[in-house]
Chains A and B, each alone.
Chain A
């Protein structure tokens, strides 16, 4: 925290009352404004109302309701990345980021927990101070407990306390096999090296089955699948096989590359540069899809991409 370059501070704030929330958030915001750094507060409508009533200079704070912001982990990560990058320094941009947990399926909850863990990787170089509020009054115990595992420290009022339970992203966000739809795939594509066939296959089926809104999503899913397939192919013998599930709501595609050995566990999680890094095409896939799972086992590697309607 000294020297020219500020690095990430990523903290959880577990609060059990409005007063505890304000005891953390108000000084966090006020000090940020006093330091003349941008302050963004992404939180619940209730907390935004509390802050507007309490923070003196609330016009200088950018308030964003969390239900519209935390739609899909990849998209949210990249949106945050763009916001943070806009701040040239000096000092750290301050972000309150309260993830939406309620009303989500267990597997989506797990993805958001991984999102919290991987933020330590994605934003490691960012000049940002991110505090993630967790409302212990309403959140399940496992969500609160994992907040301590995914954030290096906790903020209580103005006091920072290192989290003894912190695991680090590699230990917490262990890649897991994707949960595939139970039903038979709508279409399969046998092993191929031909990425243009891969794209056309995905685009044809999604355009045909995904209804009127399908055309844009078809182009996006085929591009996302093509990047995933290209990365897996590069790490294996050049061939991939596809399985596709398409209905009016959800598009999902499994890309399987036998014998592919991936160079990293979370490709596409680091902010891309102009110089290439293996797997950085998945940054695009993570932005375009609601979920991207990459998993390697003894026989090869799999990417599973989903475009689901996102919880609002």
Chain B
């Protein structure tokens, strides 16, 4: 079964993700997303730019990708260059000839061996994993799709014994998926961008099927919402999940104001709130301060850090603020 993902930021190691796109700008917009995600998770990232022709120097391609990234991230070229120097960011034209080999025939074993070797290099240089972002050009998918029809007529019989037989593009993807689902390449997050312009829908379907997960390129540059707010059904208050910081505190403040009523105690169920900065904890406290005695703000199951913040700021002594260990709701 193919799993549908919604954000490029949520691709994790062990996942092999297909990103079909119809507009080049959708794919380009994802390049910094993959980089940020790799940096957040301590991974090395390799962009396989899939444009390997003999005329292009690898250094020239690396330069182009770095330029693109610095432009998209709005940071200086040096800033991206520092990641290249550290060996955390690399650009390749292909991996053992994939996905750009002439004629659309590949050696899946060599591709896998290249991935394993890149994972070892990443780990050996201190990174916690490897993120590979492959751009499969439309020409490659077309060539692959054409060769696929011949491959499928040849049937699976010689696939069993023919280890060194040239493979089609989707065969390689399938090999990678099989290897990853078998626990090999556990440190790898593999993201394959497919230009679907000019590719027949059924061929695109085969490409998708070769990946366990698919990401919608149009919206994948957004993070999943940092904060989830749900009104409690059985009493006045909110269930919060995720994180609150200065970037989304207005959203939290608005939810508080909308749900609050001075005539009733107010419950905040916090067991799924991973992080609240000092300003967010302060908002909870200010809400409690607004109460006359008799009603309270009740914080259910705050994370240790939220509890520590209340204590360190001396806000846990407020008589109208109550901390409950377990949510009773």
Contacts and interface: CB of A to CB of B under 8 A. Distances in A.
Interface of A: 78, 82, 85, 184, 186-197, 199-201, 204-205, 208, 216, 219-220, 223, 226-227, 230, 233-234, 241, 271-272, 274, 276, 280-281, 283-284, 287-288
A204 B40 contact: yes
7 shortest interchain CB distances as A-B pairs: A281-B278, A200-B40, A190-B79, A191-B75, A204-B42, A195-B245, A287-B312
A110 B74 CA distance: 39
Interface stretch (B99-107, B214-222, B279-287): B279-287
Given A195-B247, A204-B42, A85 B126 contact: no
Contact of A241 (B40, B79, B245, B247): B79
B275 A199 contact: yes
Given A200-B40, A276-B279, A78 B312 contact: yes
Interface in B284-313: 285-286, 289, 304-305, 308-309, 312-313
Contacts of A199: 243, 245, 275
Contacts of B41: 200, 204
Nearest to A208: B128
**SS class, residues of chain B in contact with chain A:** helix
- Contact residue range for chain B? 35 or more
A274 B79 contact: no
A85 B126 CA distance: 47
Nearest to A205: B42
A93 to B, nearest CB: 16
B138 interface: no
Contacts of A205: 42
Contact of B312 (A184, A276, A284): A284
A82 B305 contact: no
Contact of B42 (A187, A197, A219, A276): A187
A191 B74 CA distance: 8
Contacts of A272: 278, 313-314
Given A85-B314, A274-B289, A284-B278, A189 B309 contact: no
Given A220-B305, A223-B275, A196 B223 contact: yes
A233 B40 CA distance: 19
Contacts of A194: 36, 247
Given A205-B42, A288-B308, 12 more contacts: A192-B73, A196-B223, A201-B39, A201-B40, A201-B42, A219-B305, A220-B305, A272-B313, A272-B314, A274-B282, A274-B286, A281-B278
B226 interface: yes
B86 interface: yes
B116 interface: no
A207 B54 CA distance: 43
B246 interface: yes
B315 interface: yes
**SS class, residues of chain A in contact with chain B:** helix
A199 to B, nearest CB: 7
A189 B42 CA distance: 10
B79 A191 contact: yes
B122 interface: no
A227 B83 CA distance: 25
Given A187-B42, A195-B245, A197-B36, A204 B278 contact: no
Contact of B36 (A192, A216, A227): A192
B247 A190 contact: no
B277 interface: yes
Contacts of A216: 304
- Give the interface centre of B75, B277, B304 by most chain A CB atoms within 10 Å: B277
Contacts of B323: none
B82 interface: yes
A197 B313 contact: no
A272 B314 CA distance: 9
A116 to B, nearest CB: 22
Contacts of A230: 245-246, 277, 279
